[in-house]
């Protein structure tokens, strides 16, 4: 096991300002964001500097030899030596040694990345065109999003100083899971699982009680840093370059708070929850809400309208139509659009499905439909609040009766 310890321990970071500037130039200062970062960087720079040295050496020698041995009129070319044993041994042995160092050093750093510790928290990662979805051990999936590369992208969270195992799968084509700040990357395949793990070592965000928002911690607040990024590095279709996510690293207490927030959607009104899911679940990639045409039909103004299907037949956009379209998207394809949507079977609760229904209804061109969706959303929240107050009163009476 000692041989498998990351060689990064021999190359510990320092507070040297020149090194800090160098790290910022190459990695925006994120050199110790995970347990694999320093070791990966050490191997990378060893290969880089060896390559740079020999590149400069060969280019300089080429220029010198081109000038020294250039053809001169009236002067015959010297006879080339048939061979030079010491030189041939040198240029065979030295590169072999250097390549062996690169290989075995890289292997020593690589092997620990393949097997996660037994106490690692497991997160299911599901990729599809063109979104990432993480499912945590409490069943939560992120609802918060932000715009990255003109696309609503999810915001994820990880705990600091705790190993996390990612179990990767794809619903459609090959993707590639890459968090550059952590120096981890793994292909995501359809019809099979792949895995990788990491242990984040730097807290990037904390909960601000005053603003009730997640904010970058002061020690990480440099430039426009707002977290670590997740990218897809395997071409997967038209919007491949927009398949992003942001990763916050939190203290254990904040991480548990964040997971609880994401898991409990009961306090979010139906229409608002539907809008959040439209962005968080990647629906926004294909279905606009402003009437513009996308890979799939817009949601703006379709409630109550009739859609004609490929191959004949039609259907009115209502609760059952939307539910079927989400769970069995290939059952009926709207004319003029490709059969490209994946099924969300098992990825949404019944309330989340209904929230999307109410959200689409709230986008209707008919004011009565909009009012009905808003009224039902508000009525549900009022009923929940009343039930909570009644339950609180009953608990108080029970406590009082026991005195």
User: Is 271 exposed, middle or buried (CB count within 10 Å of its CB: 0-12, 13-18, 19+)?
Assistant: buried
Q: How far apart are CA 210 and CA 206, in angstroms?
A: 12
Question: Which of the given ranges, 76-85, 228-237, 281-290, has the highest pLDDT on average?
Answer: 228-237
Collapsing DSSP to helix, strand or coil, 309 comes out as strand
- Predicted confidence (pLDDT) per residue in 267-282, tens digit: 788 888 888 888 777 7
Q: What is the percent of the chain with per-residue pLDDT over 70, rounded to a whole number?
A: 88
Q: What is the percent of the chain with per-residue pLDDT over 90, rounded to a whole number?
A: 29
The pLDDT of residue 221? 66
- Predicted confidence (pLDDT) per residue in 176-202, tens digit: 999 988 999 999 999 999 999 999 998
Strand 228-232 and strand 175-179: pairing?
A: antiparallel
Structure tokens at 185: 């990357």
Average pLDDT in the 380-385 region?
A: 78
Q: In what order do the strands lie in the sheet with 131-135?
A: 131-135, 121-128, 164-170, 194-198
Task: Provide the CATH number for the domain formed by 121-263 in this structure.
Answer: 2.60.40.420
Say if residue 256's pLDDT is above 70.
yes
At 393, the pLDDT band (50, 70, 90 cuts) reads low
Averaged pLDDT score across all residues of the chain: 83
User: Which of 162, 112, 113, 175 is closest to 136 using CA atoms?
Assistant: 162
- In the chain, CATH 1.10.760.10 sits at 270-389
Buried b / exposed e along 186-213 (16+ C-beta atoms within 10 A): bebbeeeebebbbbbbbbbbbbeeeeee
Q: How far apart are CA 347 and CA 303, in angstroms?
A: 23
Q: How far apart are CA 188 and CA 168, in angstroms?
A: 6
Confidence (pTM): 0.71
- In the chain, CATH 2.60.40.420 sits at 121-263
Q: Which CATH number fits domain 270-389: 1.10.760.10, 3.40.830.10, 3.30.70.100, 1.20.58.100?
A: 1.10.760.10
């Amino acid at each position: 096991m000692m041989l498998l310890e990351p060689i990064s321990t021999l190359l510990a970071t320092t507070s040297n300002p020149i090194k800090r500037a160098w790290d910022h130039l190459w990695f925006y200062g994120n050199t110790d964001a995970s347990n694999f970062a320093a070791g990966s960087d050490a191997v990378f720079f060893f290969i880089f500097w060896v390559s740079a040295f020999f590149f400069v050496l060969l280019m300089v020698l080429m220029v010198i030899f081109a000038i020294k041995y250039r053809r001169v009129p009236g002067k015959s070319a010297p006879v080339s030596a048939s061979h030079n044993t010491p030189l041939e041994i040198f240029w065979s042995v030295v590169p072999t040694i250097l390549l062996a160092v690169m290989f075995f050093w890289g292997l020593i750093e690589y092997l620990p990345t393949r097997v996660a510790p037994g106490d690692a928290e497991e997160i299911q990662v599901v990729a599809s065109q063109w979104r990432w979805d993480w499912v945590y051990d409490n069943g939560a999936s992120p609802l918060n999003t932000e715009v990255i590369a003109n696309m609503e992208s999810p915001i994820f969270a990880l705990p600091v100083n705790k190993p996390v195992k990612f179990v990767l799968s794809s619903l459609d084509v090959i993707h590639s899971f890459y968090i550059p700040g952590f120096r981890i990357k793994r292909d995501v395949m359809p019809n099979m699982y792949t895995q990788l793990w990491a242990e984040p070592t730097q807290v990037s965000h904390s909960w601000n009680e005053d603003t009730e928002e997640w904010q970058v911690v002061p020690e990480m607040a440099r430039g426009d840093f707002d977290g670590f990024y997740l990218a897809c590095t395997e071409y997967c279709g038209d919007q491949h370059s927009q398949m992003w996510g942001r990763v916050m690293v939190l203290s254990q207490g904040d991480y548990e708070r964040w997971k609880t927030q994401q898991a409990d959607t009961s306090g979010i009104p139906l229409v608002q929850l539907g809008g959040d899911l439209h962005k968080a679940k990647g629906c926004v990639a294909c279905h606009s809400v402003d009437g513009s045409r996308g890979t799939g039909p817009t949601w703006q103004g379709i409630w109550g309208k009739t859609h004609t299907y490929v191959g004949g037949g039609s259907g009115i956009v209502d609760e059952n139509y939307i539910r079927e379209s989400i769970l069995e998207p290939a059952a009926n394809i709207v004319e003029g659009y490709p059969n490209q949507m994946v099924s969300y079977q098992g990825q949404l609760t019944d309330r989340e499905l209904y929230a999307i229904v109410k959200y689409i209804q709230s986008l209707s061109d008919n004011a009565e439909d909009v009012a009905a969706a808003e009224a039902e959303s508000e009525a549900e929240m009022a009923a929940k609040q009343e039930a909570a107050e009644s339950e609180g009163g009953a608990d108080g009476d029970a406590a009082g009766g026991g005195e």
